[in-house]
Chain A
Amino acid sequence: MSKYEAVIGLEIHAELMTNSKMFCGCRVVDSVEAPPNTAVCPVCLGMPGMLPVVNAQAVEYALRVALALNCTINLHNVFARKNYFYPDLPKSYQISQYERPLGIKGWLDIELENGETKRIGIRRVHMEEDTGKLTHLDGGGSLVDYNRSSVPLLEIVSEPDIRSGEEARAYATRIRQILRYLGVNSGDMEKGVFRVEPNISIRPVGTAAFGTRTELKNLNSFRVLADGTDYELVRQAAVLDAGRQVVQETRGWHEGRRETFSQRIKEEAEDYRYLPDPDLPPLHLDATWVEEVRAALPELPQAKLARYRADFGLSAYDAAVLTEDRTVAEWFETAVSIPPHLNPKTIANWVINELFRLMNESKQSIDDIRVSPAGLVELIGLVEKQTINNNTGKEVLAEMFASGQSGTAVVEAKGLAQISDEAALAATIKQILADNAAMVERYMNGEAKLRGFFMGQVMQATQGKANPKLVNQLLGQALNQAEK
């Protein structure tokens, strides 16, 4: 690749999680789960005489994204008809934005693996409607499901500022994270709710003209996005090195062979015959409302991460893990805010090491779990007050996670409170040393590691509830006495 420079632009399509569709009152349903054609009406089926009405919630969601991506907002928005024939497109045109999209000239900073930050330009953010879904049957024939028809769709088009598969992945991951923070998209790539399509070309280093580009479609994970992009860069370089031309085409990713393959060759640019949709007067956004939406934006992940590092003293890794998902971050921040205001690092460790493990094992999200931020804080308090030791604390958390009980209740019910009664422990130790006189003798003669054996015996005798610090201290005293 050294001879060539990669020129990559990303088109991202994200469905908006509104209650109803873009231009009709139909519910937005899970297009994988819902029975086919159960969330449709004459409008989204493109029946004669039916007219679109813009969904205000979709406009607000789209505006949140355009603002979060630092776009200049067009207050005067025009919806256009993009004309093409396909059976999954009921009106044979898609209502989209063409000449006056909602947002233009935005940008997004991404962090690269070498620690550098790179700014990727965003050309436009515009609103449109999704199409239905076509399923081709093996024995011939096709089925079409219009549940997805007219679901609000946001298109985010980057400038061709991306130079590698890694950058493509970093950019797309960050966009998805922001959409989820804004509460407008679930980010599910498997279900096609969030779709990334890179346009890839290469050019000799030092030249300005763009090479012929290929477009990758149907990439269902960020890994495939990165791998497919990198594969395509190498393939195009090989084509040029062999003195041939890159063909403008749409390509897919073959997971088994781990390579891209030609899907459709674009012989000439498709003519979509755009025209302003006469059924929809231009949409004028109120500048005051735009500022209200801007003011109501949540703290975005990058700002949150910086704050966690600066205010909570978290490591870059811990801060990144905790801010990955807004709900997790808010859960964590709630825990931090609860008296007695434990050290955020301690809470972060419990969340990252213990809670996440339990969530992973049970495949639950932070929304599903029965442990509350207050519950975790209470539990950590029990450990810090030495009512229970650290290991018992982990077990108690697992029990809280499974049963939904409070930490205190679990400790009481199972009698897990540590034995910190000096007299009782001293008596136990005395008995154990007496029962193991031979071992004591060997210890005296220099086998220092046997001290661990005595510790183990005490813990066994107390079913692990002995306060290990206290046992250690009392055992030292007892052995010293024995020596004398």
Chain B
Amino acid sequence: MGVQEAMTGPSVLFFFVNAMDLTTLTLTELRDALWAGQVTSVVATEAMLDRIVAVDNEVKSYLTVTDDLALEQAAAADKRLAAGERTPLLGVPVAVKDMFCTRGVATTAGSKILEGFVPPYNAFVVDKLAEAGAVLLGKTNTDEFAMGSSTETSAYFATHNPWDLERVPGGSSGGSAAAVAGRMAYAAFGTDTGGSVRQPASFCNIVGLRPTYGRMSRWGVVAYASSLDQVGVFGRTVADVTAMFQATAGFDPRDSTSLNVPVPNYEAALTGDIRGLRVGVPKEYFIEGLDGEVETAVRAAINQLADLGADIREISLPHSRYALPIYYLIATAEASTNLARYDGVRYGPRVAGADVIDSVQKTRALFGAETKKRIMLGTYALSTGYYDEYYGKALQGRTLIINDFNKAFADVDVIAGPVSPTTAFKLGEKVNDSLALFLADIFTLPLNLSASCGLSVPCGFDGRGLPIGLQLIGNTLQEATILNAAFAYEQATEWHLRQPVIGG
């Protein structure tokens, strides 16, 4: 790479950005180049669109590429840049998971039941992207309604991992992760309901942040499980994720669960100094089923944090083993009511029927198998006579998980552990084994049940050359703490600099 070292002056960089493949720049490098007038947004956007044309027929990360719109936005951004404007993401091409509503651009949530649906509104965070000046490259693939850990339940096609096209990119935000890892976007939005940002980030060797519930508005984001859903951010570096997060976090009065708390200066918090940082290592995250190579890499990363001055201590999150059933009861129960609206009456495809009810029933057959399964599970969990035993009990259990984190954060600043028990698995390998897929999320979903925030940062590769992620979890609204810890680690390592070679 060496771009950072080469950035000694505008003229040198100018030489580089002309001579090099613009897609290898990080978001922050591109931003500097745009601000310095050494590259235009149109050129950067064209580079991304060319890259999509070149490799996305293999990776299949995008459901919709908004090339005309992107070039229009890029041209507008260039005018503003030329006029001296410097909004945070001005001219930076990014992608958005297809769970985010985009005005005038098809939004499917990876489902046939929303095929052709064009929202008349933008999600709040999509508006924030626009305000920041970002250029929208397109909508990325997702497990249907974000229900999955591999992006294979998408009703359209599966996305492939840029590191090994026979493997999954993780999920449900696998499209966004693959696009960023495959250098088809400088950054991207995902959603993280049970690990759907952190796990694909770890599978694809990029950084994925899942902020505290309420830190980013859910308004206009297609709901899966409302009390667990949260917007997340992908980037190739911690600084990139921080820039995107900085520009789009914040209170939204239209989301009643949004936190009305000022957004701190996250970018300024990236000092790289973590001396004295108290890092807890939960023993429940190093258990049977955790792949040996993953464990080795994660433990090495934790040792590296110690070398950087962090104070490492073992902690316990004793109720972790209940997180999986609690999560699936709450998520499916909420999903069963969230998805009940897709009846073909007001928007989306409508399958004709003998009468209204028949038509609604036939329309709902457009849901995929995994979605139907979760709707049925959730419906059952909420039924009279079962509520107390299932959903009600899950809500009680959730309190135990929250207490686990509260107790832990009384003694530590950050919790460190693996993101996923394994590296990326093969397409089709677990598609019919729900339990195995659920287990892929056991280290990520406790966070979603709590009020914590977390991220995944690249921390190594297994023997097959597949990426491994380190998970750092912070207390409520302590995104700055985990971002800085990840930044310190990233500065001390080179894992994030490795790039996949697509189509070998």
Chain A residues within CB distance 8 Å of chain B: 42, 45-54, 81, 83, 85, 87, 90-93, 142, 144, 269, 271, 273-275, 278-281
Contact = CB atoms under 8 A, between A and B. Distances in A.
If over half of A's interface residues share one DSSP class (helix, strand or loop), that class is named, otherwise mixed; here it is loop
Given A91-B340, A279-B256, A49 B221 contact: yes
Given A51-B256, A53-B254, A273-B387, 11 more contacts: A48-B107, A48-B109, A48-B223, A49-B100, A49-B123, A90-B345, A269-B384, A273-B336, A273-B383, A275-B391, A280-B256
Contact of A273 (B219, B337, B345, B346): B337
A51 B219 contact: yes
Given A47-B347, A278-B226, A42 B120 contact: yes
B341 interface: yes
B50 interface: no
Contacts of A45: 346-347
Interface in B304-354: 333-334, 336-337, 340-341, 343, 345-347
A49 B256 contact: no
B256 A273 contact: no
A48 B114 contact: yes
A93 B121 CA distance: 22
A87 B123 CA distance: 25
A271 B223 contact: no
A163 to B, nearest CB: 31
Instruction: Identify the interface centre among A46, A271, A278: most chain B CB within 10 Å of its CB.
Output: A278
Contacts of A51: 218-219, 254-257
Contact size class for B?
35 or more
A42 to B, nearest CB: 6
Contacts of B114: 48
B344 to A, nearest CB: 10
Contacts of B357: 85
Main secondary structure of the interface of B (DSSP, over half): loop
A142 B337 contact: no
* Highest count of chain A CB atoms <10 Å: which of B100, B346, B384: B346
A104 to B, nearest CB: 21
A85 B333 contact: no
A49 B220 contact: yes
Contacts of A54: 256
Contacts of A81: 337
Contacts of A280: 256-257
Interface string B130-166: 0000000000000000000000000000000000000
B256 A52 contact: yes
Contact of A85 (B257, B360, B384): B360
Contacts of B104: none
Given A51-B219, A279-B256, A281-B257, A46 B227 contact: no
A273 B356 CA distance: 22
Contacts of B340: 83, 85, 91-93
B10 interface: no
B38 interface: no
A278 B382 contact: no
B64 interface: no
Interface in B206-228: 218-223, 225-227
Contacts of B220: 49-50
Nearest to B229: A278
A375 to B, nearest CB: 48
Interface string B208-252: 000000000011111101110000000000000000000000000
A43 B121 CA distance: 11
Across the A-B interface, the 6 shortest Cβ-Cβ residue pairs: A92-B340, A278-B227, A273-B382, A278-B226, A49-B220, A48-B222
A93 B346 contact: no
23 contacts: A42-B119, A48-B107, A48-B109, A48-B222, A49-B219, A49-B220, A49-B221, A49-B222, A50-B219, A53-B256, A85-B343, A90-B345, A92-B341, A92-B343, A269-B384, A271-B384, A273-B382, A273-B383, A274-B382, A275-B334, A278-B226, A278-B227, A279-B226
B461 interface: no
A90 B254 CA distance: 19
Q: Which of A53, A142, A279, A281 has the most CB of B within 10 A?
A: A279
A273 B255 contact: no
B256 A48 contact: no
A75 B382 CA distance: 26
Nearest to B340: A92
Contact of B346 (A47, A52, A142, A279): A47
A90 B340 CA distance: 9
Interface in B233-282: 253-257
Given A53-B254, A87-B343, A90-B341, A278 B119 contact: no
A90 B121 CA distance: 17
B382 A46 contact: no
A396 B254 CA distance: 58
Nearest to B346: A45
A48 B219 contact: no
A68 to B, nearest CB: 28
A46 B346 CA distance: 9
A148 B212 CA distance: 36
B117 interface: yes
Contacts of A53: 253-254, 256
Contacts of B383: 271, 273
B298 interface: no
A53 to B, nearest CB: 5
Contact of A93 (B100, B256, B337, B387): B337
Given A85-B360, A87-B360, A91-B341, A49 B379 contact: no
B101 interface: yes
Contacts of B219: 49-51
Nearest to B392: A275
A275 B117 contact: no
Interface in B341-386: 341, 343, 345-347, 356-357, 360, 379, 382-384
Given A51-B255, A53-B253, A92-B341, A275 B356 contact: no
Which interface residue of A45, A49, A50 has the most chain B CB atoms within 10 A? A49
A87 B340 CA distance: 11
A275 B337 contact: yes
A281 to B, nearest CB: 6
Contact of A278 (B109, B121, B334): B334
Given A49-B123, A281-B256, A273 B222 contact: no
B392 to A, nearest CB: 9
A271 B360 CA distance: 19
B497 to A, nearest CB: 36
A85 B340 CA distance: 8
Contacts of B336: 83, 273
A72 B362 CA distance: 46
A274 B333 CA distance: 10
Contacts of A273: 336-337, 379, 382-384, 387
A45 B345 CA distance: 10
Nearest to B258: A51
Contacts of B223: 48-49, 279
Contacts of A281: 256-257
Nearest to B120: A42
A154 to B, nearest CB: 20
A33 B387 CA distance: 42
A47 B119 contact: yes
Interface in B95-134: 100-101, 107, 109, 114, 117, 119-121, 123
Contact of A49 (B101, B257, B337, B356): B101
Contacts of B343: 85, 87, 92
Contacts of A91: 340-341
A169 B266 CA distance: 64
Identify the interface centre among A42, A53, A54, A273: most chain B CB within 10 Å of its CB. Answer: A273
A83 B337 contact: yes
A48 B223 CA distance: 7
Contacts of A87: 343, 345, 356, 360
A339 to B, nearest CB: 51
A92 B364 CA distance: 13
